[in-house]
Amino acid sequence: MSAPASTLNKESKIVRKFEKGKIIEINVDNLIHNIGVIRSRLSEGVKIFPVLKSNAYGHDITTISQHIEGFVDGWCVANLEEAEKLWKISKKPILIMKGTLTDEEDKEAVSRGFWVVVRDEQDLNSKIKKGVGNLFLKVDTGMGRLGVLPDKLKKVLESIKKNGAGQLFRGVMSHFAYSDLQDRDFVNYQFRVFSDFASEFEKAMEKRLLRTLSNSAASLSFKDAHFDFIRPGIAIYGISPFGKDKTFDLKPVLTVKTKVIAIKSIPKDWSVGYSRKFIAKEEVKIAILDVGYSSGIPRSWWEKGYVYAGVRKLKIVGLISMDMMAVLIDNVDLSVGDEVIILGDVDGITAYDIASSVGSIPYEILCSFGLRS
């Protein structure tokens, strides 16, 4: 798929991109501000490796990396494809957090010097056999996804020593089970397990290893867990993992707009949208917008959802269709071709608001509303 078209408003430092009816605006000033907020809360010497997976949470991996290249120390991605995109832009370290899958991908990772996560014991033996370097051993401290369990350390060390593979390892990592550190007892447990595992692993390797554990929440509020570098994701993009009422002065980076493609009057007792969920009690005027659920708009958002035209809040009416949706525009001066805001730092349509309304989380809203590729 070709990259979306883009323009840069140099005065306000807003990058605009276009994809499937959506107009994506990236506020570069807010992006850099958020890096500063995170940096101000770090222990001395701790490095920042932003998480740019899922096309930088819908913000566009190329745009984000180009504008914060000078403010960070490395990158975290999910897969080789994302790492390759970054490699063309930046020569800073790139950590592939899912590891790689095929022999060809492992070979490519080695040739590019990517840092690669070891997912489990089987993956460990495979990578040792292939001589993959720059490895980060992942320990499962309670997330229950990737990583070796703590009680498998002895077995892991036996495999490494048997094959003389200690030189392949650069670091050790884990991942908190709570993105918001909600259960601090369990968070503290994970921290202790990771610290003990990392110390034992280092001792056995007889060398200093890089350690990384902190997500956005821990980066902002748990200094003990910062270690060598942090891996902030959602906070980079201006969304606090602790919710709308505890933002740490983070500023949302993403605004999503769309255009009006039609305007019409709807007579009394006429319906709008599939299943006739909206029936006009009197004659009303509506605007049809150029986005729908195929653009990432939750179909259920129609029940409580709004968009903004300037300072005017316009109610969504009728079920959201695959590539269209309707809003009420009575007493609003709106024309075909005008832009309206469907996601932004506006009352009622922030990522927090939409997520709360449709039973989701801000992470999913950003990835859905933003750029897919």
Helix (H) or strand (E) holding 72: none
Say if residues 295 and 21 touch (Cβ distance below 8 Å): yes
pLDDT score of 5:
45
> Which CATH number is 356's domain given?
2.40.37.10
**Which of 185, 202, 237 is the C-terminal boundary of a domain?**
237
181 and 267 in a single domain? The answer is no
> Total structural domains in the chain?
2
pLDDT at 2: 34
- Report the CATH number at residue 51: 3.20.20.10
Q: Looking at the domain assignment, is residue 1 inside a domain?
A: no
Q: 192-198: long-range contacts at Cβ-Cβ below 8 A with a sequence spacing of 24 or more?
A: 193/139, 193/141, 193/142, 193/150, 194/139, 194/141, 196/150, 197/139, 197/141, 197/150, 197/153, 197/172, 198/139, 198/172
Active-site pick, 47, 53, 85, 127: 53
At residue 3, the pLDDT reads 37
Domain membership of residue 76 (yes or no) is: yes
Q: Is residue 261 part of a domain?
A: yes
Contacts (Cβ under 8 Å, ≥6 apart) of 119:
98, 99, 138, 146, 147
Three-class SS state of 351: helix
If asked whether residues 176 and 89 sit together in one domain, one would say yes
- The list of the chain residues with pLDDT below 70 reads 1-12
Co-location of 198 and 341 in the same domain: no
Does residue 175 share a domain with residue 277? no
Does the active-site annotation cover 352?
Answer: no
Whether residue 154 is found in the same domain as residue 301: no
Q: For residues 59 and 198, state if they share a domain.
A: yes
Nearest CA to 305 among 251, 355, 366? 355
CB 173 within 8 A of CB 213: yes
Q: What is the pLDDT of residue 8?
A: 52
Q: Does residue 131 belong to any structural domain of this protein?
A: yes
Which is it for strands 229-230 and 47-48: parallel, antiparallel or unpaired?
parallel
Q: Does residue 27 fall inside a structural domain?
A: no
Assigned token pair, 255? 């605004």
Catalytically annotated residue among 91, 207, 264, 274 = 274
Which residues 6+ apart lie within 8 Å of 71 measured at CB?
32, 35, 36, 39, 48
The verdict on 289 and 356 lying in the same domain is yes
Q: What is the pLDDT of residue 12?
A: 56
Of 237, 272, 298, which residue is a domain's last? Answer: 237
Q: Domain residues for 139?
A: 41-237
| 230 shares a domain with 99 | yes
Q: Are residues 300 and 231 in the same domain?
A: no
Residue 21 placed within a domain: no
Q: Which helix (H) or strand (E) holds 61?
A: helix 61-68
Q: Is 53 a catalytic residue?
A: yes
In a domain, 4, yes or no: no
Is position 133 within any domain?
A: yes
Q: Give the domain-ending residue among 169, 203, 237.
A: 237
Beta bridge partners of 117: 136
Residues 307 and 213 in one domain: no
Q: Do residues 75 and 197 share a domain? A: yes
Claim to verify: residue 129 and residue 263 sit in the same structural domain: no
344 within 8 A of 256, measured Cβ to Cβ: yes
